[in-house]
Chains A and B, each alone.
Chain A
Amino acid sequence: MGFAVGALALAAASAFADEIPRAERRSGYDVMSRETRAMQDDDTANPGMLWVLEGGALWGRKVGAAGRACADCHGDARASMRGVAARHPSFDAAKKRPVSLDQRINACRADRQQVPPLAYESRELLALTAYVARQSRGLPIAIAIDARTQPFLDAGRATFHRRQGQLNLACAQCHDDQWGRQLAGNVIPQAHPTGYPLYRLEWQGLGSLQRRLRNCLVGIRAVPYDFGAPELVDLELYLMWRARGMTFEAPAVRP
């Protein structure tokens, strides 16, 4: 019995032994061109800042039956929202599961401001998320895993390692095993979500991590999960945990 449990633990450990060692982790920032890096680094050249500016305006706007703005409860976001994005997805006691930052914003809108939720990837939700995320720039990603979030982390890790779609590929096959090599003209990144929501030149717009994950799922010809689906939030949780300690860059710019 003891041997069986020991063997099982060993098998579980070795199944994920391929994770990237901490010293070798690289943000997508490190593999992109000098020009794109310059665009991200300069706040007046970074198009993501347009959403941050809009989010700042929304932060102070009174809405809903309660006539309340985000700022009425949270005050100055530069202080109150510092580090918040770097620890999301985080556990929500009411939902009994981790929620992403945009879900948290929508929940706050529903509970405190009494307004309908903003649609995923809508300009307003991205703007508010970008504004909140901007307050964590430069901080280390700090996902705390406890007994409540552990099952969701495990689910996210399982999704990351599960082969899916017509191409029968798992996330890990590219992003753990083949990072740094070429996929057509692109360098395969390690898939650390250090800068979301981020501006992709390909999108010509700002997008969430879930949008990116859905792109990747379509790329392997799998049916993408819906926005806000538990599978995507769990995957987001796993990816943020996998990038723990790395510097948060939102709003980042990526090719």
Chain B
Amino acid sequence: MATVLVNVPARARRGEIIEIKTLISHPMETGYRRSELGVPIPRDIIRKFVCTYNGTDVFSAELHPAIAANPFIVFTTIAIESGTLAFHWTGDNGFSATESATITVE
């Protein structure tokens, strides 16, 4: 199970632009490397990241082999209403991780 760190402001004013930071532990093995014995190391990367805000997609990203290990993704959205931000990472070998955070908008 991957370790995840997300940073969402606990409260915000309605209409305010909020910054969201996410960090997840993942090797992001490119698939282009070989082991010391010359055997190709199979690709193992996160393919997609999605953030939903009360069920609506507000941000998504496709990840590729050139992205470093432990991807750190920062993005902004507009605080519309109180609720839950859900984060979902999916990738090779059935990788899946979810995390959520609540925000109070006043």
Contact = CB atoms under 8 A, between A and B. Distances in A.
Given A50-B23, A50-B25, A204 B70 contact: yes
Nearest to A203: B69
Contact of A44 (B7, B27, B68): B7
B12 interface: no
A205 interface: yes
Interface in B56-105: 68-70, 72, 74
Interface centre among A42, A50, A201 (most CB of B within 10 A): A50
Interface in B14-71: 21, 23-25, 27-28, 68-70
Interface string B2-13: 010111000000
A42 to B, nearest CB: 8
Given A45-B21, A47-B23, A205 B7 contact: no
A54 B21 CA distance: 19
A43 B68 CA distance: 19
A143 interface: no
Interface in A189-203: 201
Interface of B: 3, 5-7, 21, 23-25, 27-28, 68-70, 72, 74
Given A204-B28, A204-B69, 4 more contacts: A44-B5, A47-B25, A54-B3, A205-B70
